């Protein structure tokens, strides 16, 4: 009788622990795939208008990607550098983030496309899948850009920051003739970034316990395959030059993620800069724009010297 009672107690405790594990995993998965994103009005208030970055008023555009409608901006450059750049924003950001990088490309005479990812800004609602579905959205946007601008694949570069950088790297194998990828502060994989954020929030031990449950629930709710979400793996199939940038003092995505991506790349055409500028996550462009521009211009001079007009020195 005592033994039976012990088994009942043990079973009850185990069931309670599993229930707690499931609830906590569900809550963390919710933050991972459906975190609240600021409105475009909030983003504008925090960032400024295109005119503040030397750009003209953009054309408001929409792009269809399956049943998802992507909303964004198209900047038609009057300088006619016969080039374009598609730039993708970070996690819970918007097209407004592209404005910080836009001057790098605008001075070269390039048209610029910036759009809101699914679940962000004015694009269709949707779960965040860290590149699993977003890379297909990005491919649809890239092909739309080609048609709209009348440019070949080899005339459109791709850039991204944080979440957008990871999507750019996962897009890379699908656009082999693209002239370059600029990936600032990318994570190495969805499991890697969930683990890093979990460790920062609840400690290493609890993070190791929770991450499998969080990823399992995220996969169930979104339909993504978490194992397939890996910029670190995707870069091995990239055929174009890739510029990786990361702050050593990044407090959100460790710089070691970009190091891991670099280690798996073709290092004959991949450049990694881990900057010691004291910046927080994805903030090097604002910490020292002139130094950042020098890194980009040097990379382009070596790997894509014919891209667009000569940059302003």
Task: List Cβ neighbours of 185 (8 Å cut-off, separation of 6 or more).
Answer: 90, 161, 162, 165, 245, 246, 247, 250, 252, 253, 258, 281, 282
Assess contact for 58 and 74: CB atoms under 8 A: yes
Instruction: Say which residue the tokens 């709209």 belong to.
Output: 148
CATH number, domain of 57, equals 3.40.50.1820
Residue 106 pLDDT > 90: yes
Model pLDDT for residues 256-289, shown as the tens digit of each residue: 999 999 999 999 999 999 999 999 999 999 999 9
Would 313 be classed as within a structural domain?
A: no
One domain, residues 108 and 219:
no
Same domain assignment for residues 7 and 118: no
| DSSP 3-state percent helix, strand, coil across the chain (nearest 5) | 50, 15, 35
Rounded to whole angstroms, what are the CA distances from 153 to 82, 156, 157, 158? Answer: 12, 6, 8, 11
Alpha carbons within 13 A on the beta-carbon side of 191: 13
Contact status, residue 265 vs residue 257, Cβ threshold 8 Å? no
- Considering the domain boundaries, does residue 310 fall inside one? no
| Cα–Cα nearest to 307, from 144, 152, 140, 185 | 152
**Packing angle, helices 190-202 and 204-222, rounded to 10:** 130
Do 218 and 238 sit in the same domain of this protein? no
For 110, other C-beta atoms within 10 Å of its C-beta total: 27
For 21-25, 43-47, 223-227, 248-252, which range has the lowest pLDDT when averaged over its residues? 21-25
For residues 16 and 91, membership in a common domain is answered with: no
Range of the domain at 250: 37-189+229-303
Could you tell me if residue 7 is inside a domain? yes
Q: Is the pLDDT of residue 39 over 90?
A: yes
Query: Residue 289 domain-assigned?
Result: yes
103 lies in the same domain as 252: yes
Q: Let me know whether 263 and 205 are in one domain.
A: no
Q: Are residues 142 and 73 in the same domain?
A: yes
Q: Report the pLDDT averaged over residues 45-65.
A: 98
pLDDT for res 313 = 73
pTM (whole model) above 0.85? yes
Whether 218 and 286 share a structural domain: no
pLDDT digits 0-9 by tens, 57-83: 999 999 999 999 999 999 999 998 999
Number of domains in the chain: 2
Q: What is the pLDDT of residues 118-170, one digit of tens each?
A: 999 999 999 999 999 999 999 999 999 999 999 999 999 999 999 999 999 99
Residue 208: inside a domain, yes or no?
yes
Give the lowest-confidence range in 21-25, 169-173, 227-231.
21-25
* 167, 138 Cβ separation under 8 angstroms: yes
Q: How far apart are CA 172 and CA 146, in angstroms?
A: 16
Q: Is the pLDDT of residue 255 over 70?
A: yes
Q: How far apart (Å, rounded) are the C-alpha atoms in residues 98 and 139?
A: 18
Q: Provide φ and ψ at 245, rounded to 5°.
A: -130, 140
Residue 38 pLDDT: 94
The confidence score (pLDDT) of residue 11 equals 64
Is residue 96 one of the residues assigned to a domain? yes
209, 224, 239 - which closes a domain: 224
72 and 154 both lie in a single domain = yes
Rounded Cα–Cα distance for residues 268 and 256 (Å): 20
Q: Is the pLDDT of residue 1 over 60?
A: no
- Domain shared by 133 and 211, yes or no: no
Q: What is the pLDDT of residue 219?
A: 97
Q: Does 233 share its domain with 110?
A: yes
Regarding whether 22 and 138 lie in a shared domain, the answer is no
Q: ∠ at Cα 28 (244, 47), nearest 5°?
A: 50
Kindly state whether residue 194 falls inside one of the protein's structural domains: no
Confirm whether 195 is domain-assigned. Answer: no
Task: Flag the least confident range among 3-7, 34-38, 90-94.
Answer: 3-7
3-state secondary structure of 252: coil
């Amino acid at each position: 009788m005592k033994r039976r009672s012990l088994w009942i107690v043990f079973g009850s405790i185990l069931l309670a622990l599993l229930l707690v594990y499931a609830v906590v995993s569900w809550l963390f998965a919710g933050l991972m795939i459906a975190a609240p994103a600021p409105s475009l009005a909030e983003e504008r208030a925090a960032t400024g208008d295109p005119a503040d970055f030397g750009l003209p008023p953009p054309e408001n555009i929409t792009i269809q990607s399956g049943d998802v409608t992507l909303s964004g901006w198209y900047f038609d450059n009057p300088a006619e550098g016969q080039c374009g750049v598609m730039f993708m924003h970070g996690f819970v950001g918007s097209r407004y983030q592209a404005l910080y990088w836009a001057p790098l490309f605008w001075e070269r005479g390039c048209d610029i496309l910036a759009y809101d990812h699914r679940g962000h800004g004015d694009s269709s609602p949707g779960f965040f899948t860290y590149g699993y579905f977003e890379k297909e959205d990005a491919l649809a946007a890239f092909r739309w850009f080609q048609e709209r601008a009348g440019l070949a694949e080899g005339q459109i570069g791709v850039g991204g920051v944080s979440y957008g950088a990871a999507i750019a790297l996962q897009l890379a194998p699908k656009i082999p003739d693209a002239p370059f990828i600029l990936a600032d502060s990318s994570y190495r994989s969805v499991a890697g970034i969930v683990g890093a954020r979990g460790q920062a929030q609840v400690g290493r031990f609890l993070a190791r316990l929770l991450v499998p449950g969080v990823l399992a629930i995220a996969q169930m709710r979104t339909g993504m395959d978490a194992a397939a979400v890996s910029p670190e793996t995707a870069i091995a199939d990239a055929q174009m030059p890739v510029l990786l940038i990361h702050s050593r003092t990044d407090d959100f995505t460790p710089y070691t993620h970009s190091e891991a991506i670099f280690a798996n790349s073709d290092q004959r055409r991949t450049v990694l800069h881990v900057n010691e500028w004291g910046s927080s996550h994805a903030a090097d462009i604002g910490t020292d724009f002139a130094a950042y521009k020098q890194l980009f211009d040097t990379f382009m001079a070596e790997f894509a010297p014919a891209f667009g007009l000569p940059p302003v020195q």
